[in-house]
Every structure is written in structure tokens, then in C-alpha cells.
Structure 1
């Protein structure tokens, strides 16, 4: 027996001429008898509209007032494929019940990538979880599982593709800006979206800003997009970050207002940028304290603002 045959069920239907199909569907929906779990289908020159049981006399009278040419019949009708509402819905009958509580609720979306953390007890089911994400979030092309903490001078994390395309390069959109990036090659956190906006909104026209750990440019580019008369020096030690940053500068039409610089922020400031900044951004919470002297030396003699980030205990 085929899957199509096993997914059919007997149902009462309104059988109407094809020309009355749309009107009959709307009428059945309005009076509350349309069975949305089953598909509307064709039978020769007629349309079969599945309904929830045999209509009452009152319902039949209402149907007659809307359409005269119909009959109530019983037919085998195809079930609709149900779209899962969330990951739990998709995995409900695919995972052991005691593991459902461990399914990750938090997912980061970076462009068309979904990034999540798989608990140890769900490791044998990670591919299934990836499939669930693809089924629930239709715009997602690849699902990545975190497989390490952020580490190293480039602040990178290891990922494993557990579903979808192996290509992890994407285009992320945030506050009217677009960012080309690959999370395997550069640091990027969509959770900082509002922080990028908050800082950009504080910048004044005519300011010179130094973004000491710029990455692909979420602070620098948004600042330059929001304020036409600013100059942002965007520094990063990761060559891949500078490559994507340069691409993003052109993509967002801020060339000349964001200056990408490859190198260690301390050395760049010491050699080129002492005393030039109205504002310095230090988004490197794990090591910012090591660079506070460099940030202070970058501020203009008349003073300025340093946005300093650190993890709290």
C-alpha cells in the first residue's frame, strides 16, 4: 500500500461544480464546518470540500442560501501534511520523552544560518535536531552546532554542520546594514544587535571613532550609515575579518568613512592613531583590560568616550 493511500481517510464532503468551489470553501469556513486537516480535491468536473461530519439542518439551510448546486457525499480524502509549529512539535514523537526537556530553546540566526548548542545527552540525535530546525524555519539553509568555546586571538569558535549545506558563508542583515561573513572564520554575535544600534545612536556628527576590535564591522558600519560626517578607524587582527569588513564597507556604501586596518590595536594606535579619537569602542570583554592604556592614548587631549566591555561575575 502506498503512502498516499495510507494518508487518506473517509470524510463527509460538499460536492460542488468546479465553478462554485471557491465560494463553497469560503461558505464552509464561515459556518465552521470546513475540515482543514484534509485537502480539497477534484472529482471529474466537481470539487470535493471536506467537512467536519454531517451538517445539521440549520447548516444545510445556510449552505442552500449561499449555493444551490451541491450534495453531501462521503469520499476518501487526502490528509494535509502538518507543518510543525516549533522544534518540540517536530521532535515530539521522534525523541525519547525524557529528552524533550533538553532540546535547545535558544537559536542564533546569522543570515540563513541557524546556530545552536547541543547538550551532551542529545549528541546522538543532533542530526535529527538539525533536520527539525530546517523544517520549522524555512529560511534556514544550514544548521550549525557549537563544538567549542570562543577562544584564541581571533575569538573563533568551532562549529559542526548538522543539517543543510556545508557552505557556512552567509549575508546577515541588521538595522539596514548587510554583513558578509563566515562564523567559522570570524567572530560575530547577532545577540549584540541592539548594542550596535545603541552605541551608533550616541555618536555625534563630526566625530572620529576608533573601533579597536571591529570584526566584520557591525559597530563601524552602522555608525557610518547613521552619521554621514564621521570617520571610523576599524581595526582587527584577523585577516579574514578585515577581508569581510572591506567587502561590507563597499556593500553598505560607507567607503571613505570607515577605514579598515589589519593589525594589533595597541600597535596601530601607538604608531598611527594617538590622540585622534572622540570615541573608542572596546568590544573584547575577555581581554579589554589589557588594552585600556592604548584606548586612553587614542582619545583626543580634550577628552572623549571609551565604551569598555567586560564580563561580570
Structure 2
């Protein structure tokens, strides 16, 4: 895979042959270390502007590369109480739920390990570098984070990285805003995670494609989804070289290192982008057959692509085709 292809989003929307949808407004712009595309059906340009303003707002709240973001302030709080935005509270609760749901396979407190793996600088602006206190440890105590309204106290040494769940939740929030403001349908794709609601411009469920990790111009599968989310995690997307060798950004909480696996991408369909994103992580850590059998028990469907390029799906995946 060419280096410039690695940075491409692993999941994207499939558009019609003309690239435009009647009755729909679409825009794409840089966001959250990659790009974001939002499509609204039956909505105004003003509402489209508002959805991007919301997406930009959560990036400023959640990015570890923004010095005064809620996440940065929490990471340097050293056990002190910090006032945060209500959207940050929602993010932390989603992190806690994801860790519980996956039995710890998803863990947003591995930031020190992520920095050790080489992901300390922004891929968009390398001058923006993440630092953590000397007390930072990995893993942290996610369950021990105390929340009272919008006041948060994190155990000393615990740090957070919004990462993929931040993109998934941002897509959820964008769709919710659009539908609450009267849109007939909404699609938000942020950094490769897609949330959809309502109807597409053709009056049917949204048509989405899962990109082939070995051929960014092709697809492993095409699905139809009315309301819900499709998230993909890829070990080919962000790779770093340190004195200890090559690493990728998907970490194994048990080894504190990049997951040792031949799985290249894991795609999950779930009720929300935040939930789908957290459910991708066990796909890199568990035996594939066990993982794909487990997903339907938690209300999700999945597609795994290994090093040969062969896709393997959960038994309920075909419901969305």
C-alpha cells in the first residue's frame, strides 16, 4: 500500500455516478486529523454550516493536540476537579461504557503507550505535540473517574485519548443536530466513521461502502443502513517508526504495545458511531471466529479483513446488504 494511501479513511460513503444527490447538500473539509464529509437531505445551507460548527467545537474540546482542550486540561489535572463541557462528560461516559462492553479490550487510558509507540505529534501539524505529566501511567483508572454534573475528577496518573471514539461520537452528534433541526436525512463521516439517520436523497436507506484496505478505490462490501453507524479501524492507517521498530496505533492493553495480529481492518455496524468504534477493537485482539460470533450478542455486525485480503463477516452482516 502506498504511503499516501495509508492516510485515506478506511470507510467512506458510496455516492451515485454523478457524485451528487438531488435534494441533498454536501460538504467536506479537514477535521480531527483527517477529513469530514456531511450530507443533509431536505435541509438548508445554514444547517449544514451549523453541523460543521458542532464538529469543529468537539474537536476543540477533545483533541489532545489543543493545549486548552478539555481533554488536555483533564490529562494535566493531577487528581484535581476540572469543569468541562457537557459534551466532554458524554464522551467520558461513552469511554466507560465501551470499556465495560468489551471487557477492557477498548481502553482510552493508554495514552502513555501510544506516545511510546511514536504517536506523539499531530499527523496534520507535526509542530503540535502531546505531552503528559510524569505521573501518567498506562492503563489508567477509567472506572475511577468521578463525574458530578460537568465537574470531573480523574485519578492521578490517568490520561485520556479521544481517538476513534471521539470521531464516532462526533458523527452521532452531527446527525442528531441535523435531525432535531428538521433535516429529512443526515450522513456524517468523520475520519472514516459514518453515522446516518433518516433517509438518503433517493428516499431509501443510506448506501455505504467498506473500503478494501489493499485497494482504496474498491470495496469489500456495500451495505444499506437507515439509522445507525458503520465504523472501521485499520492497523494500516497510522504507523510509526521508533528505535524499537515499527508500530501502529491500535494497542493491546495487555502488552502495552501495538496489537500483534494479521487482521488489517475491522468494520462494525452498530446503533451509534461511538458504540461501533469501541466494538472494532476486540477484532484485533480476539480469535476472529470468537469475535464475529460475539458481535451479534451485543447488537452489532462485523466484517474482518486479514493480511490476505480475505473478508470474513458475522452471520448477521448480510441483513444490511
TM over 0.5: no
Q: TM-score, normalised by structure 2?
A: 0.24
Higher helix proportion: 1
- Whichever of the two has the greater Rg, that structure is 1
Of structures 1 and 2, the one scoring higher in RCO (CA 8 A, sep 6+) is 2
TM-score (normalised: structure 1): 0.24
